[in-house]
A and B are shown apart, each in its own frame.
Chain A
Amino acid sequence: MRTVIFRTIAPYLAALMVLFSIFVLLRGHNEPGGGFIGGLIAASALAIYGIACGVASVRRAIVFHPMGISGFGLFIGALAGVLSFFKGQAFMTSQWLIFDFSGVEVALSTPLVFDIGVYLVVVGAIGSIALALEEREAD
């Protein structure tokens, strides 16, 4: 499958897909999208990049081991829920910080952090499965 055209275009395609996945992740609270679907898009980006350019270059590109990314996602997901303890509220009570940044309303919240956690979990887990399968295919 490593045709020249595919190999040339795959990095750009993967980059675009990752960018799009982040867009989908962030719009999720108000429009269709969210962490899960964003994660799936990013995972397919990794898979495509891997098929085109080899697993080694994907691993170099994402720096961390995909399962590590996945674990980190679970960690911050749980951490987002703990924040409410400091206000004496139940686990996972959502906390919101809405402020005005040069005329644009910015909403930071624990559900957003949680959604990012979901995103990382899915990218890591599915990406790691796909990469592991591709790796064996290569040898």
Chain B
Amino acid sequence: MTPAVIDDTTLYAVLAPFAAAVVAPFLTRWLKHNAAWPLALVPALIFAHFAGFIGPVSEGQTFVAAKAWAPSYVVNFSVYVDGLSTLFGLLISGIGTFIILYAGGYLKGHPQQGRFFSFLFLFMGAMLGLVLGNNLISLFIFWELTSITSFLLIGFDHLRAASRRAAIQALVVTGGGGLALLAGFILIIASTGEIEMSVLLSSPDIIKNSGLYLPIFLLVLGGAFTKSAQFPFHFWLPNAMEAPTPVSAYLHSATMVKAGVYMLMRMHPLLGDTELWTTVLPLFGGVTLLVGTILAVRQTDLKLMLAYTTVASLGLLVMLTGTSHEKALEGAVLYLLAHSLFKGALFMVAGTIDHEAGTRDITKLGGLRRAMPFTFAAGCLAGLSMAGLPPFIGFIAKEILYYGTSNIGDLGQLGVMITVVAVIGNALMLVIAAAVAIKPFFGPPVDTPKHAHEGPILLIAGPVLLSVTGIILGLIAHTTGVLFVGPTLSSLLGEFKQIDLHLIPTKFNAPVILSFITVGLGIALFTQIDKLRELIAAALKAIGWGPDKGFDQSISGIVSFAAWLTRLVQTGKMQTYMLLTFVFTAIAVLLPGFLTGSYPAMPKLPDYRFYEWGILLIAVLGLIAVLVARTRLTAIVSLGIQGFAVALIFMMFGAPDLSFTQFMVETLSVVILALVMTRLNLSPRDHRSLPARLVTGVVAVAVGLGLTLTLLAITQQPFDRTLSDFFTEFSRSIAHGRNIVNVILVDFRGFDTLGEIAVVVLAGLCVLALIRIRTRPDPETEPEPQSAQTAAKQTAEVR
């Protein structure tokens, strides 16, 4: 069905969080932490807006809206609303509402709370733009914006080194993946000629037939896997737990890390269902699922346990998406929905426990159920959904995904393996769910660093409502299927599908048996959790290396390579710099003639008048004086003689402006060089050895020869008068000036001049800074004097 064009309200809904980000700090200064209430209205209204799409989208309709952004590059700010983007839009804005409230309670009294709200809103807007993005380029911009804003959020506590490291790690990994995605998008645009996702989706085989399928597949995967923390890129996600809990609850439940899964699901009709897809994705997803759950069991920190199960859940989602099997995809959609709800709730529960009891270490927590009844209730409900028990949405998700994986007939061995991996993963997930949601609340009360008591309403509203939503969606399974799962599945399959969900399994079949196995295995493992933890810890210690360490090694490798290269290139000796510069100049001017073998013809000796010969003689005498000069000062002044002679030549051959400038530049060069000389306490004479002099002499002659040959070659070309004629004709009539040189500089090519004067200002600043530095013990090696002179020379040469 072709998408219907709607008005711009949806575009404004995407931009609304950005506006809220501007307002938030001021509102927070005024209302303190209670600013959360009015601010939460923004995502709530966005939620209401997207809720309006549920009806039509569930009937198979899709919508687009667009505004021109950079029309000359066909870059539009455009949105595409279908089942998948509606589901994500609802999750982002819905959970976002509770996160804003939660952040109000969690960071109560924090001096930077306003800034925190701002960052959250910026991130929310970026996420909305990403999941609704229709134009590939604007989608990419929002994608990178999520990386940048998550950097700000993860590094919010920027005074702590661990936070900074985690933030940089997340930025490097996800930002790097983003570049791969951009390359993939550019290949898509180049090979298909289409830039709007909705258009691409209307002809699903367009990329598979383009011949560039493999590179596009790999590049998109690079983006999705880094964002969604697939093994071996999973390490940034647990480290990001350095962020304040509201950030973890938001980024790691429904948003940031799901962006990669979103991208895979969005691209499924275009890239999916190929042999490559059904091999690579289940492989990486399966490994990530197992690695994530195993690492989660080892942890004792509530947030870290949840973080690793997030890694595992993302692995499960990628694995299911990778099967391209209809039922398995349905399971993926359900699991995505269930996971967003229970993981958001559980992170907030963990945060509330940390906030009110003063620790997140499960070995130091226990018996909190009386002190924190609401948190306890929310934790239980969310934990049961995560464990995949009825009547929660998590249960239905697990049933469907087992149904899917156990029915992948055409995958054969792989189907069996996927099922086994899923069962082990889910059993371990149950273990963690029990450890996180039950352990802190049951048993005898334990002394906690803070006297534990229930959190304020801002802290408990979110987890309670999210976990209750999990059970409601489970109880109204049929409606959930029709309104959310069916439309999303339709987006994944690229064709309209309606599905029928039941809470109670209709038949006693394979999924039910698998469920029993999962629960049994999970309970058995939970009783042995301490032993399991020690076992895994010992195994990890034996391995002793992980991608996290690898990240540090590669970063320090880059730094030491840069240091090595800098030491190699930057000797700190001006003579080396100048020599290298001129050697390469000589090569640049001599090589083309040498390679082509075409040298300019020897020019005829022109018929000069006697005074013209005289000036030429002065120039040559000046040069000889430079060479035979006993002291450096004499040499500098002699160089001035040569320069003035050249200026005179300019004057005689009709370039008064040039000559005028040359006179001034020569004067100033001599003055500045002389100043530099006296200031540097250089020895008055040049004490270099003869070989060193010979080398510089050869280089100087080579440069001179090369430039002469180049100039001769240029002047022997027929002269193209187009530009000169244009300037001569129009300088008076258009630009009202008789001095063509000046008219070109300030009018015809004024933009160039603007760039040049900007360079002059910067050069001035740099030279000034260099003159002020007095750290070098050896004045002989100080580089600034020559810079001063080159700056003046350069600007003169530009003229």
Q: Which 8 A-B pairs have the closest CB atoms?
A: A125-B764, A40-B664, A32-B656, A29-B737, A30-B738, A133-B675, A121-B757, A111-B746
Interface flags for A48-67 (1: CB within 8 Å of B; 0: not) read: 00000000000000000001
Given contacts A67-B768, A125-B764, contact A33 B742 (CB under 8 A): yes
Q: Which of B271-279, B617-625, B791-799 contacts A (4 or more CB under 8 A)?
A: B791-799
17 contacting pairs across A/B (C-beta < 8 A):
A29-B736, A32-B660, A33-B739, A36-B661, A77-B757, A96-B736, A115-B745, A118-B753, A121-B760, A125-B760, A125-B763, A129-B764, A129-B792, A133-B675, A133-B785, A136-B771, A137-B675
Whether A122 touches B750, Cβ cut-off 8 Å, given contacts A36-B745, A133-B672, A137-B679, is no
Q: In the assembled complex, how far is the CB of residue A35 from the closest CB belonging to chain B, in whole angstroms?
A: 7
User: Min CB distance, B164 to chain A, in Å?
Assistant: 34
Are B768 and A129 within 8 A (Cβ)? yes
Contact between chains at A37 and B661 (CB < 8 Å): yes
A96 to B732, CA, bound (A): 13
* Complex Cα–Cα for A22 and B120 (A): 56
State whether the Cβ of B767 lies closer than 8 Å to any Cβ in chain A.
yes
B59 contacts A by Cβ under 8 Å: no
A100 CB within 8 Å of chain B: no
| Chain B residues with CB under 8 A of A133 | 672, 675-676, 679, 771, 785, 788
Contact assessment for B754 and A92 in the assembled complex, using a CB-CB cutoff below 8 Å: yes
B192 within 8 A of A: no
Contact A36/B739 with A92-B751, A94-B747 known, Cβ cut-off 8 Å: no
In the complex, A11 has a CB within 8 A of chain B? no
B768/A128 in contact, CB under 8 A:
yes
- B 475-502 to A, binary, CB cutoff 8 A, 1 in contact else 0: 0000000000000000000000000000
Is there a chain A Cβ closer than 8 Å to B560's Cβ? Answer: no
- Considering residues B661, B757, B772, B791, which has the most beta carbons from chain A within 10 angstroms of its beta carbon? B757
Per the 8 Å Cβ criterion, residues 60-118 of A in contact with B are: 67, 70-71, 73-74, 77-78, 81, 91-92, 94, 96, 98, 107, 109, 111-112, 114-115, 117-118
Q: Known: A29-B742, A118-B753. Is A34-B657 also a contact (CB below 8 A)?
A: yes
Q: Which of chain B's residues have a CB closer than 8 A to the CB of A107? A: 736
Across-interface contacts of A40 in B (CB, < 8 A):
661, 664-665, 668
Contact indicator B657/A32 (Cβ below 8 Å): yes
Q: Please report whether the interface of chain A is mostly helix, strand, loop or mixed according to DSSP.
A: helix
Interface string of A16-33 (1 = CB under 8 A from B): 000000000000111111
**A91 CB contact (under 8 Å) in B751, B761, B772:** B751
- 1/0 per residue B709-733: CB within 8 Å of A? 0000000000000000000000000
Query: Which residues of B sit under 8 angstroms from A111, Cβ to Cβ?
Result: 735, 737, 743, 746-747, 750
Q: How large is the interface on A (under 10, 10 to 19, 20 to 34, 35 or more residues)?
A: 35 or more
- Which residues in B have their C-beta under 8 angstroms from that of A36? 661, 745, 795, 799
B residues lining the A interface (CB < 8 Å): 656-657, 660-661, 664-665, 667-668, 671-672, 675-676, 678-679, 735-739, 741-743, 745-747, 750-751, 753-754, 757-758, 760-761, 763-765, 767-768, 771-772, 785, 788, 791-792, 795, 799
Chain A residues contacting B739 (CB-CB under 8 Å) are 28-34
Tell whether, in the assembled complex, residue A47 and residue B668 are in contact, meaning their CB atoms are under 8 Å apart.
yes
Given contacts A81-B751, A115-B746, A122-B757, 7 further A-B contacts (CB under 8 A): A35-B745, A73-B757, A77-B753, A77-B754, A129-B764, A129-B768, A136-B771
Q: Which residue of B lies closest to A131 (CB)?
A: B768
CA distance A114 to B693 in the complex (A): 46
Chain A minimum-CB-distance residue to B745: A34
Say which residue of A44, A70, A71 sits within 8 Å of B668 (CB atoms): A44
CA distance A78 to B799 in the complex (A): 19
Query: Which residues of chain B are near A35, meaning CB under 8 Å?
Result: 745-746
| C-alpha gap A32/B771 in the complex (Å) | 34
Q: Is A126 an interface residue (CB 8 A)?
A: yes
Measured between beta carbons, the chain B residues less than 8 angstroms from A81 are: 750-751, 754
Q: How far apart are the CA atoms of A27 and B760 in the complex, in Å? A: 23
- With beta carbons under 8 angstroms apart, the residue of B736, B761, B795 that contacts A74 is B761
Q: Which residues of B contact A32 (CB under 8 A)?
A: 656-657, 660, 739, 741
Check A10 for interface membership: any CB of B closer than 8 A: no
Q: Which residues of A contact B772 (CB under 8 A)?
A: 132
Alpha-carbon distance A122/B754, docked complex (angstroms): 12
Shortest distance from the beta carbon of A81 to any chain B beta carbon, whole Å: 7
Determine whether the beta carbon of A44 is less than 8 Å from that of B761. no
Nearest B residue (CB) for A133: B675
A14 at interface (Cβ–Cβ under 8 A)? Answer: no
The answer to whether A34 touches B761, judged by C-beta atoms less than 8 angstroms apart, is no
In the complex, which residues of chain A have a beta carbon less than 8 angstroms from the beta carbon of B791? 125, 129
Q: Nearest B residue to A75 by beta-carbon distance?
A: B761
Complex Cα–Cα for A130 and B735 (A) = 35
B786 to chain A, nearest CB (A): 12
Closest Cβ of chain B to A110, distance in Å, is: 9
B795 & A122 in contact (Cβ 8 Å cutoff): yes
Q: Which residues of B contact A130 (CB under 8 A)?
A: 668, 671-672, 675
A132 contacts B768, C-beta separation under 8 Å: yes
* Contact B754–A129 (Cβ < 8 Å): no
In the complex with contacts A29-B736, A122-B795, A67-B661 CB distance below 8 A: no
CA–CA, A104 to B741, complex, Å? 25
* Known A40-B665, A124-B761, A126-B792: A134·B660 in contact at CB below 8 Å: no
Docked complex Cα distance between A124 and B747 (Å):
22
- Contacts A32-B656, A47-B668, A92-B750: A67 and B765 contacting too (C-beta < 8 A)? yes
Shortest CB-to-CB span from A106 to chain B, Å, is 12
Is B664 within 8 A of A134, CB to CB? no
- Which single member of A34, A44, A73, A94 contacts B671 (CB below 8 Å)? A44
User: Which B residues touch A29, using CB under 8 A?
Assistant: 736-739, 742-743, 746
Do the beta carbons of A70 and B761 come within 8 Å of each other?
yes
